[in-house]
């Protein structure tokens, strides 16, 4: 077989592929099947088959599906199908109200997972054994498909599943083929190093391969991803972004690794957009700046268009309506500088280390010693999932945790004495940034870290935090705590 980028692809559906409607496909999926689905950053996920399954569940079909996705997915899976009661187990991430509510009510057996190792967990049967892979593509042929707006875990999932269903989406441009760089790694213990020597280098192909005997159905669809709706950055977002920019500019001047080729990763959302706005026109925006992360959003397109960014490598395109229009109307404008990879490559610890990535991720809260809570309010209520932050925070050359100092309209401090849920330990936190300042924790013993982090807290909460630290210091121990009051206030 010859891997198409676009050459050799006669149309959306090539060769002798079984085209079926979504209702027919859904009817043939077992009630308790395990589905491995495409999608990352709530884009590139299947849309027709999940809606058909949801309709069947609402009509009385007793579904108890296990669903493992590449990352966050959109409403067809995590709103419609979950709300219809069709999902019993869910991995590795959720980002919708319906899925979040079901997980918190323990009606949905949700287990959070990191991203970098998820492909191997599924591929080698350590997490689930998929019955059917349901994935979105812009084109398909015997034994191959070209992903749409995300690559995610699709290469591993189509290999692991017993059967493959491909939704070919006419609303996604064929030109996305030129963005993809699909690499499938050899299994351990014979796994060699990844051959990617720079964030913009392509070493794979545009197509995802699978056994052609597995292809059960092709479903035609014509619906774009639900667009991201980014709120305008607030004054707090902009102050945080300015403080992060100060950290980055100092790092470029003082750190030879970062100074040689500044390479950033940051999470999707308004804070990321604020940071991209701060980067525009800064001393870092000289055309040498690189992005190596998970998700490409509108602000990165702006930096590329302005010549401020050399390349953007990720695993998905999470764009607004305007961003989708810009890319879909002229994908060739971005194809050279935008690379979409499988998420076990975009999040590979070896590449994060190789490129000296500076990771900037937000959080729910941080405690006085630098432990970070990214996923649970008050230690119990799930709000999203750990996603790829665990990959980048642990392996980055410099790890920055950026968050507003307060939540709930200023009534709750996000800086707390002791985190009631820990996603990232103190050992993986280099710098904490809020709108009130920067705490560089590198090399500091625990009490000195606490003193630095208190200066980043909202002024109204600093006296109580200092009083807590004073009480804690009356006891012995390397990390002093007053456990009788440590959890009196929580973000």
Residue 310: the pLDDT is 96
Q: How far apart are CA 435 and CA 277, in angstroms?
A: 16
Q: How far apart are CA 154 and CA 177, in angstroms?
A: 15
273 and 420 co-located in one domain: yes
In the DSSP assignment, the letter for residue 470 is H
The pair of three-digit structure tokens given for residue 472, joined into one six-digit string: 């804690």
Residue 491: the pLDDT is 55
Contact 285, 305 (CB under 8 A): no
Asked if pLDDT for residue 274 goes beyond 60, the answer is yes
In terms of C-beta density within 10 A (0-12 exposed, 13-18 middle, 19 or more buried), how is residue 444 classed?
middle
Closest CA to 360 of 438, 449, 282, 260: 438
The answer, as to whether pTM is greater than 0.75, is yes
217 and 242 co-located in one domain: no
For 66-85, what is the mean pLDDT?
97
Report pLDDT digits (tens) over 5-60.
444 566 899 999 999 999 999 999 999 999 999 999 999 999 999 999 999 999 99
For 114-127, what is the mean pLDDT?
95
Residue 1: the pLDDT is 39
Residue 7: the pLDDT is 46
Residue 287: the pLDDT is 83
Give the lowest-confidence range in 2-6, 54-58, 132-136, 464-468.
2-6
For 221-232, what is the mean pLDDT?
90
Residue 9: the pLDDT is 62
Count: domains in the chain:
2
- 15 within some domain: no
Q: What is the dihedral of CA 153, 46, 129, 346, to 10 degrees?
A: 10
210 and 294 co-located in one domain: no
Q: What is the CATH number of the domain that holds 365?
A: 3.40.1080.20
Residue 228: the pLDDT is 86
**pLDDT range class, residue 484, cuts 50, 70, 90:** very high
Residue 490: the pLDDT is 63
- How does strand 398-402 pair with strand 431-434? parallel
H or E element, residue 201? none
- 491 within some domain: no
Is residue 294 part of the annotated active site? The answer reads yes
Give the lowest-confidence range in 130-139, 266-275, 285-294, 338-347.
266-275
Percent of the chain surpassing pLDDT 70: 98
**Mean residue pLDDT across the chain:** 95
Give me the domain span that covers residue 429: 235-473
185 and 261 co-located in one domain: no
Instruction: Select which of 136, 163, 294, 426 is catalytic.
Output: 294
58 and 142 co-located in one domain: yes
Asked if pLDDT for residue 225 goes beyond 80, the answer is yes
249 and 299 co-located in one domain: yes
33 and 181 co-located in one domain: yes
Q: What is the CATH number of the domain that holds 143?
A: 3.40.1080.10
Residue 233: the pLDDT is 87
Tell which of 188, 221, 254 closes a domain. 221
Report pLDDT digits (tens) over 82-116.
999 999 999 999 999 999 999 999 999 999 999 99
301 and 365 co-located in one domain: yes
273 and 336 co-located in one domain: yes
252 and 386 co-located in one domain: yes
**pLDDT range class, residue 3, cuts 50, 70, 90:** very low
- 481 within some domain: no
For 201-218, what is the mean pLDDT?
97
- 5 within some domain: no
Asked if pLDDT for residue 232 goes beyond 90, the answer is no
Report pLDDT digits (tens) over 399-449.
999 999 999 999 999 999 999 999 999 999 999 999 999 999 999 999 999
252 and 207 co-located in one domain: no
Closest CA to 432 of 263, 247, 237: 247
The pair of three-digit structure tokens given for residue 151, joined into one six-digit string: 């690559």
298 and 432 co-located in one domain: yes
């Amino acid at each position: 077989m010859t891997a198409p980028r676009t050459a050799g692809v006669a149309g959306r559906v090539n060769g002798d592929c079984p085209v079926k409607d979504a209702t027919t496909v859904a009817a043939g999926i077992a009630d308790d099947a395990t589905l491995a689905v495409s999608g990352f950053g709530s884009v590139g996920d299947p849309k027709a088959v999940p809606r058909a399954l949801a309709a069947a569940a609402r009509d009385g079909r007793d579904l108890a599906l296990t669903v493992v996705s590449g990352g966050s997915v959109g409403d067809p899976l995590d709103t419609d199908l979950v709300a219809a009661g069709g999902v019993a187990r869910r991995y590795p991430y959720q980002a919708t109200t319906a899925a979040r509510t079901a997980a918190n009510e323990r009606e949905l057996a949700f287990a959070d997972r990191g991203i970098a190792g998820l492909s191997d967990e599924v591929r080698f049967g350590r997490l689930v054994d998929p019955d059917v892979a349901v994935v979105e593509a812009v084109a398909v042929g015997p034994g191959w498909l070209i992903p749409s707006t995300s690559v995610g875990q699709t290469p591993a999932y189509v290999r692991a599943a017993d059967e493959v269903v491909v939704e070919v989406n006419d609303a996604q441009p064929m030109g996305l083929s030129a963005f993809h760089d699909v690499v499938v790694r050899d299994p351990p213990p014979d796994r060699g190093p990844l051959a990617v020597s720079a964030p913009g280098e392509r070493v794979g192909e545009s197509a995802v391969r699978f056994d052609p005997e597995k292809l059960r159905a092709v479903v035609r669809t014509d619906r774009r991803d639900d667009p991201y709706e980014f709120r305008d950055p607030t004054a707090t977002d902009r102050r945080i972004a300015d403080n992060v920019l100060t950290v980055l500019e100092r790092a470029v001047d003082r750190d030879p690794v970062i100074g040689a080729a500044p390479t950033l990763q940051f999470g999707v959302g308004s804070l990321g957009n604020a940071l991209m706005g701060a980067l525009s026109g800064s001393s870092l925006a000289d055309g040498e700046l690189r992005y190596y992360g998970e998700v490409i959003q509108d602000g990165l397109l702006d930096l590329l268009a302005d010549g401020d960014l050399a390349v953007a490598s990720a695993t998905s395109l999470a764009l607004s309506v305007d961003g989708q229009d810009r890319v879909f109307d002229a994908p060739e404008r971005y194809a050279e500088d935008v690379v979409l990879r499988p998420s076990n490559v975009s999040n590979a610890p070896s590449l994060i280390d190789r490129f000296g990535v500076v990771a900037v991720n937000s959080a729910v809260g941080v405690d006085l010693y630098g432990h970070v809570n990214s996923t649970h309010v008050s230690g119990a209520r799930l709000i999203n999932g750990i996603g790829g932050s665990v990959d980048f925070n642990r392996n980055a050359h410099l790890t920055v945790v950026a968050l507003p100092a307060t939540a709930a309209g200023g009534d709750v401090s996000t800086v707390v004495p002791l985190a009631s849920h820990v996603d990232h330990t103190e050992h993986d936190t280099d710098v904490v940034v809020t709108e009130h300042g920067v705490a560089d924790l590198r090399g500091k013993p625990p009490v000195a870290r606490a003193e630095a982090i208190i200066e980043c807290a909202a002024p109204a909460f600093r006296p109580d935090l200092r009083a807590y630290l004073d009480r804690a210091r009356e006891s012995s121990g390397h990390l002093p705590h007053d456990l009788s009051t440590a959890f009196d206030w929580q973000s």
